[in-house]
Each structure stands twice: as structure tokens, then as C-alpha cells.
Chains A and B, each alone.
Chain A
Amino acid sequence: MPLVKAGKIVEDQYVRVEDDAPLPDGVPVLLTAARFLADARDLTERDAPVGVIWPNDRRIAEVAPWIDRLALIALAFPKFKDGRAYSQARLLRERYGFRGELRATGEVLRDQFQFLLRSGFDAFEVKKPADAAVFAEAAARFSVFYQPSADGRLPALRRRLQSVAQDAPVTV
């Protein structure tokens, strides 16, 4: 499953560690929410980055106290149609101010890229290699948006007001 970051396919630096497996030293690790929460204080003090895989049926507010010390939060799309993680992503970015890597995992297809980007994701475990290859094109499919969101782009409602101001007649 290719990982896409900043529009390019990159190598995943993180090692997924099962709940009962020993923690490797000095490498970035990705843990389940249960394992992370059981031992959060110690884990966030280790000298390599820690990431957590957060399930989509658990309140995202629970991870908020650790946000400053997490390098990565991976959210889950068990099915293409299951959109709970979009809400979790926006809350992480807009309410809790998470600045680390926000990764989409599971059934991630090209037709979601733009929604995911707009909700605050910046890393994508893309299900199909063909979709990963056209990431940049698919992500630029739309140039107009109606709503303010985590990507900080100006919605049409606002851009209209600006263009009205620019179009105002200028007296010479």
C-alpha cells in the first residue's frame, strides 16, 4: 500500500508494533490506541517519534491531552463509505491544534483525496497503486469550495466578496 505525502509516493518511516510485541529502540513506531493510552506518559518520553492509530468509533477528545507529543495520528476508513474519520480529522486540526502528521488509512481511494486534504490529512495510505500515481491530479480536481475547512482555503462565499471589492470602479 503506497504512502503518499506532499503529493509524492514516499517510504513509510514508521514501524507498526502489535500490542504484545516489544518496542524497537530508536525507530518511529505506530501503536494502537489501547497500547498507547495504557502507557502514554512513558511512550511520549522515548527518544524516537510515536504515532497512534485511532479508531473511528472512539471520541477523538481522548487523545487531545497527548497531541503535542504525538508525531503522527493515523485515522481509519474501514470502508470507503464510513466517513467518521473526516470529523475526527477536522477536530484534531481545528479544535485541538494538532500539527503532526495526520494519516488516512484503510479504504483510501482517489475519489476521497480532495475531501481528505480539506479535512486536514497530509499523509495517505492509498489502497490502489494506480490511485497513488495520480494523486496530484485527483487532488486538484476542484478549484472552488463553498466552505471554510481545515485546509485554510478561502471559500467561494469569501472570494466573491473579495472579487466584488476588486471589481469596484476605480476613480482616476
Chain B
Amino acid sequence: MYLYDEFDRILVKERVSEFRDQVARRLSGELTEDEFKPLRLMNGVYLQLHAYMLRTAIPYGTLSSAQLRMLAHVARRYDRGYGHFTTRQNIQYHWIKLEELPDAMADLASVGMHGMQTSGNCVRNITTDQWAGVAPDEIEDPRIWAELVRQHVTLHPEFSFLPRKFKIAVGASSHDRAALAIHDLALRLHRNGAGETGFEVMVGGGLGRTPFLAKTIKPFLHKRDVLSYVEAVLRTYNSFGRRDNIYKARIKILVHELGAEAFAKEVEAEWQSTKDGALALDPAVLAEIAARFTYPDYLKLEDSPSALARARRADRGFDGWMGNSVANHKVPGYAIVTISLKPEGGTPGDATAEQMDAIADLADRYSFGEIRVGHEQNLVLPHVAQRDLPELYRALDAIGLAIANVGLITDIISCPGLDYCSLANARSIPIAQEITRRFSKPDLARNLGRLHINISGCINACGHHHVGHIGILGVEKNGEEFYQITLGGKADENAQLGALIGPAVPYVQVADVIEDIAAAYIELRARPDELFIDTVKRTGVEPFRERVYATR
């Protein structure tokens, strides 16, 4: 956990008081909606179809149990009793009243939380691997760097009015769980030939109507230079990014139009003037931040205790859950547990206040009071003793949260879509719900193996459909909802954009099409353990296209 100090707390409180004043000016009419808009956006407040929406930052997806309880309180007190975890490790409340927003924010501030920079044309919440600090394959904890960058860009005087939003992700593992390639700026910690750790810097990734994967502009950046280099990228973008067309304003377009090499040169020239100045990282500053990340006092426990194997043999439900939702921890005797928020017929990523409270209690009992949020819209208990797993399973099962579908076809990533969002062209949530019903039999989903479905209700791609193994994009045709289907996308270290399989299909056919694709995969796969994504890679989309459109 990162412990806020007095400086962090003062800043959040001052921000709440500023926002209270802005809301008062809006309510009195002193501010027009046009003037208020950029101000509220910078505090995570959107105006949606039915109400204001508040997006609250969960920096790098790490929460304490006290913070999760506060999120539950806000859901209960100011919203309709639930919240929605997003693909950027944030939480959204969709039914907040404008006049109550400052109070909701003050409540959040009491546990160091806020909506700062979760929206607007500024540097957004910094995301990272939800397993940061516990993943066996990471070279160091990326959250320390995410926190350093978070602080640096918070209320940054120069970069609060960028051409468009700016998303940064930090990764430190060989397996990329942070979707680095689809970020405006990605920092990947790795070791160079000399054994030093530093960053590969990638820029210009992003989805939306013009998807691009990020390009490497600096293969190895020394750690001391991370802030000066990030500033150089931001300054170059702030100065030269397009502002004439909102759809061409992201950094990906600037990088594409200039070419990655020319962009890198521009950044390099800027950086040479600043790299040895005030932003050169003082090891004492970094040590101070690192010291405020606390780690649990792990016990010395037996790894894979024999009682666990016995429990698996004795209880089929536990065995299935453990095989699906439990991952290896870097400390022997511990495990990482994912709590799926994708029940059959549910809204992906939604959690009720009661569920949040219950998970906070379980975190206190079994995970040193810590919870993580992943970009797949699930929650994680990051430090569970393996010997406690059977007990934890029973506790989760009792509240309907032992859902063993992590990484399977029903673990769908979805944006809120037309049910909430004023930008959407089509509904997303009912599509996700119908698919989870079609594949609700555990054996059916398990037989299909790892398979990620991503759904976006419009071209803005909040559901990351371009990088779903199966991507579903809602479009509008003559006032009706249609859906384009792509196959073969992925957001990991071998990131790739999916390929379109054919003409868009109407709303009522989407779940049938997904069933056809799943059936085609079963027939096409070379072996039972050839993953869906590998089959698509081997065969291309053609055989899937044939299957889907043969009868349509």
C-alpha cells in the first residue's frame, strides 16, 4: 500500500474546496455549462444520458479495505447502491446529483481518494499491472514509478490543458498485464545488456476510431531521467499536437503524422535541454516514495501445502475455482486471488455496496487489508495464504463471488454503452449479459479455454474491442444497433489489433454469431490446448468468416 502523507492529504482537500466553489458558481449561473465543463471533467465529472457521472481514481489499481468501504459508502449514500469498475482501474458512479458531488468528494477525500484527472484533456490516472508487487515475473514494483509520475503530473501547471486526454501505463513484468501498447505513453521496466534496469519508452498507442499500437522511441532510458523525459514528451505533444479536430488530437495522430522517428528527435532535442536540471531524479526523492509503499509481514509458510491438494480432491467447486482464479505469488505459501465481477447475466465490472463491504472484510481477514482492481474489470486479493484458500472460497461462494470464469469467454470487458453513455451508438451491457447466459455452463466455457471478449458501444473503444480475442463494436445503421465483429486482437506483450470478419450484424444476432465462432474454433483447433487466439493466428479469420456468414 502507498500511504498518503500530509502533503497529499492537503492537496486533495484543497481540490475539494475548489470544486465546491466551482459547483456553487455553476448552480448560481455564474458559470455557463460550457465554462463548467472542463472544470468538472478535470474532477472526473461527466454529464451522461440520465445524470452526472463521477469517476474516482484508483491509482495503479491499489485499494485499502478502508478505501473500498468508502467506495461502498459513496455508492449507498449518493448513488443507487452500486459502482462500476472500469478498464482503467477506476470506479464510476452513474447516478450522482450535481449538488451532492462536493460532499461525495469530501467523503472520498477522507480516505485520500479523488476524481482528479480521471477525465479531461490532462494526464489521466496512471495504470499498471494489477499484480504489481506480488507477481513472480516482475523485475521490480512498477507502482513506485507510477506513483512518482502520478505526483509529478497531478495539477501540473503546464500540462492540464493538453490537446486531448493522455494515458500513461507502467509495466515491469515479462508478461504484460497492463496493456502497455494501447497507451499514449508506456514505460516498460527492463534490464539492458549491462544488467541495469531502465525504461523502454513507447508512445502513440491508442484505440478509438484510428487504432494504433505504441511505438518505441527510446529503447533504454535511465531511471534518473524518467521525469525529464516524460515532460519532454508532454511538452512536444502540448506544443504540436493537433487542436483543430477532436478526432485527430491524440498523440497517436501526431506520432503518425510526423513519423515516430521525427517525433523521437523532437522529444530528444527538448529533453537534452532539461535532463540535467531540476527533474533529474534524486535517489533520496525516490527512496522517500518507495518507503511509503508498505508490504505485508508475510509469514514463513509451506508452499503448496498438502492440505490444499486434499481440499481440491474433496470439493469439485473449489478445485475448479482454484484452477481458474488463483495465481502464483512471489512469496512461497501465498497466492493471488482474482474475484470475478462477471456473474451470469450481470453487468461486467459492477459491484454492489454490500459486495464491496464484504470484499473489504475478506481482504482484512485474508489479504492484509489490500485489494487490487485490474483493467479486466475484476478485483484481486493480492496476498492470500494458500492454506486459507478453501476458507476464502467458501466465504466468496456464500456471497455469490466464487465465479470461476477468469480469463474465459464469459469474463467480458465492456463499456457502459448506450444504457448510460451519451457518446454510445449501441448497447454493450445487454450483449455481454446474453453472452454470459449462452456460455453459462462451466464445462462449456472451460472447454473453450482462455478467450477474451471486449465490447465497445461506439468507436471511442472504451471496451478495447480492437484488442479483444473477439472484439464487438456497436455501430448505428439507419437508427438501428449493429455490431462489427473482429478476431485476433490482443493487448499483451505481443499486442495486435483484431481483423474484421465481415459485415456488421444486428443486435439480436450477436450472441448467435459468438456461438458460431466458438463452435468453429472447437472444430478448427489443432489440439484441445491450442488457445483460441493461437488458432485464429494459424488459420486467419477466413474459416471463421465462412462459418458466421454461411447462413446469414
Q: Which A positions have Cβ atoms within 8 angstroms of B?
A: 59, 80-84, 86-88, 90, 95, 109, 111, 114-119, 130, 141-150, 156-161, 164
Contacts and interface: CB of A to CB of B under 8 A. Distances in A.
A56 B248 CA distance: 19
Interface of B: 5, 7-8, 10-11, 14-15, 17-18, 22, 30, 35, 38-39, 121, 151-162, 235, 238-239, 243, 273, 278-279, 282, 284-285, 288-289
A149 B158 contact: yes
A153 to B, nearest CB: 10
A38 to B, nearest CB: 24
Contact of A146 (B22, B121, B154): B154
Nearest to B150: A146
Nearest to A91: B235
A144 B7 contact: yes
A105 to B, nearest CB: 15
Given A82-B161, A143-B10, A160 B35 contact: no
5 contacts: A83-B160, A116-B157, A149-B158, A157-B151, A160-B7
A161 B278 CA distance: 15
Q: Identify whether the interface residues of A are mostly helix, strand, loop, or mixed.
A: helix
Contacts of A146: 11, 151-156
B536 to A, nearest CB: 42
Contacts, number: 100
B10 A90 contact: no
A158 B235 CA distance: 23
B14 A81 contact: no
B293 to A, nearest CB: 14
Given A81-B121, A86-B238, A111-B39, A142 B157 contact: no
A130 B21 CA distance: 14
A82 B244 CA distance: 11
Nearest to B286: A157
A170 to B, nearest CB: 20
Given A141-B14, A144-B7, A82 B155 contact: no
A149 B238 CA distance: 16
Nearest to A117: B157
Contacts of B160: 83, 86, 115
A88 B152 CA distance: 19
A144 B11 contact: yes
Nearest to B41: A81
Given A118-B157, A157-B285, A160-B288, A87 B39 contact: no
Contact of A119 (B153, B157, B243): B157
